A and B are shown apart, each in its own frame.
Chain A
Amino acid sequence: MSNATTPAPKKLSLKEKYAQMTRGLGWETTYQPMDKVYPQTTFEGIKIHDWDKWEDPFRLTMDAYWKYQAEKERKLYAIIDAFQQNNGHLNVSDGSYVNTLKLFLTGISPEEYSAHRMFAMLGRNFAGVGPQIAAQMQSIDELRHAQTQVHTISQFNKYFNGMHDFRHMHDRVWYLSVPKSYFEDAMTAGPFEGIVAISFSFEYVLTNLIFMPFMSAAAYNGDMATVTFGFSAQSDEARHMTLGIECIKFLLEQDPANVPIVQRYIDKWFWRGYRLLTLVSMMLDYMVPKKIMSWKEAWNTYFVQNGGSLFNDLERYGIRMPKYWEETVTAADRLSSEAWNTFYNYAAAANFNSWCPSDENMDWMSQKYPETFDKYYRPRFEHYRELEKKGQRWYNTTLPMLCQVCQIPLVFSEPDDPTQTCYRESSYHGMKYHTCSNGCRDIFDFEPEKYVQAWLPVHQIYQGNCFNPGTDPTVEGFNPLAAVLEYYHFGPGDNMDYHGSPDEANWLKWKGLVPRTEEPKTDEPKAA
């Protein structure tokens, strides 16, 4: 109750409010010692002497956070509504464009959710209030990103195949084990490795290579819904990137003994992140109908130049460029072609459609990749096209050998030889383990006990763990590939070639266009 004689309570200044609502929320525990309350802060060997040295770059408090985010939500959902009411999906450049969204929804959105879980754990496990609050806010951001992406892309799910059951697919489909295992590796590491992995190596160094190509491509290809969720996430990303650089500086300034540990984390997570971006390379070079830039141009701009100057700045702490970064520059001439050939091979087992590139796409590739495209990759695609003309679209139905660390099939070439598959082999407790590169081999060799537990989809299929309950693999005429696709919840049209697909047929019908004259057969392939 108030009355005229009691003065109104004093309003806190912004600075006081910030102090009260962040640092003021923490306390030294007395019933239990602090190291028992925060048991995960020492086993990685990272030394923190003063958690209060953590600077919060945004000085954001929870009440302000909710206000900003609510405002962004209102704008985003108004635009999504308009997009849906105006049949915005019909305005994209071509029906094949939607395959990039299938890749995004199944390969990236569930990882936003993984990041949400991981940052919630970091918020619990850090012993300082500054990083606790920052991690909590990022945890909520990541949950929101997962939700807004799902809601935005749901409009496309009404009209195109492959996006239903994206969550179910994420935990089962062979290529989705690549992003899934990446985040699970980070989540099961200590909190310091986790934050260097995601906040620094991913958000600060590499995230531009996901959001820039996807959002620019979306805009250029007429997909205004995706552009909108991209913009809505962008201000969060700026905060996440700042958290990434702040956490690195904090760790490096706390103790000189942290430097080699942080360097090892950077080496590992640069390489794991780079392998994850393989999917983006083929999206830029092969999947978007209207091209924005090549993978090689994107890599040179966003990693070699921007990343290079970042690591110049970090040199004063004793940090160098991530190990094997030179190999990524050499491989820039090959990466997207190695990746797209993989999905051309295994189109029967993916939840999006792949296709042989058009003449226009191939000429663009020749121009962007004069050293490699005509020499190594064009003849392969021309061979595929000849087969397609005969109605014999080829599908690879023999399961591939996977890397024990990144879980990608061994599709990458030796750093010094584009014609030769790169093989690396390690041995642990008498068993052989195979990796795709020097980077992945080093990661395995440092922690073999972790990676022997990898759930490798190909091996799991052969062990009989990827069939629906009740499936009997011993009955006559059993088709293992068909049984695996059922387990993945793939239905007709989710997989196979784009040409001749239900998506293509619908698109042509909606747009009043005529189909191509030569269409590959889309008969179900027989399992090897």
Chain B
Amino acid sequence: MPVQALKPGYTGEVKDRVELFHGNQLIYIGWDQHNMICAPLALPLPPAMPFGDLIDKVLPTTAYAAHPDWPKIDWGKVQWLHSSEPFKPDPKKSLADNGLGHKSLIRFRTPGLTGINGSFS
């Protein structure tokens, strides 16, 4: 029973269908244990964009760039998660070819960086 409704067979409009995002898809991205940025970010991105551009071109324009740990990140050592599973993105391949679809959640971990004064902020 996917909904408790007066009318049998009731369905609702899916508000966040990918075709409503003007050619983009939503990607959510979270930086683990860096909670000064209060929540993971939601970004509308073209599915054909190379994953490397996300790191080099998109993320530097986001709130993450304001974090004091940002300049210290060694991107070669970053650990990625897709949903909650370990994930090894290929920077040359597109988001879609890396298996990232509409509303995919990716997270990155930066071992050795523990936030503002070690507070995980």
Contact = CB atoms under 8 A, between A and B. Distances in A.
A379 B116 contact: yes
Interface stretch (B27-35, B47-55, B71-79, B86-94): B27-35
Contacts of A344: 38
Contact of B39 (A375, A410, A419): A410
Contacts of A210: none
Interface string B1-39: 011111000111111100011101010101011011111
A456 B15 contact: yes
Interface string A171-194: 000000000000000000110010
B15 A452 contact: yes
Contact of B3 (A342, A399, A449, A528): A449
A399 B28 CA distance: 10
A343 B119 CA distance: 19
B32 A401 contact: no
Nearest to A432: B103
A157 interface: no
Contacts, number: 160
A380 interface: yes
Interface in B49-102: 61-64, 66, 68, 83-84, 101-102
Given A454-B15, A528-B61, A190 B38 contact: no
Given A421-B32, A452-B12, A459-B15, 14 more contacts: A39-B6, A40-B6, A43-B4, A43-B6, A341-B35, A342-B39, A379-B118, A380-B119, A394-B66, A401-B105, A420-B32, A423-B107, A425-B105, A449-B2
25 contacts: A40-B6, A189-B4, A190-B4, A375-B119, A376-B35, A376-B121, A379-B117, A380-B121, A398-B41, A398-B62, A398-B63, A400-B41, A401-B28, A418-B120, A423-B84, A425-B84, A432-B101, A432-B102, A432-B104, A434-B28, A434-B103, A453-B14, A454-B15, A456-B15, A463-B20
Interface of A: 39-40, 43-44, 189-190, 193, 338, 341-342, 344-346, 375-380, 383, 394, 396-402, 409-411, 413, 418-421, 423, 425, 428-429, 431-434, 447-450, 452-456, 458-460, 462-464, 528
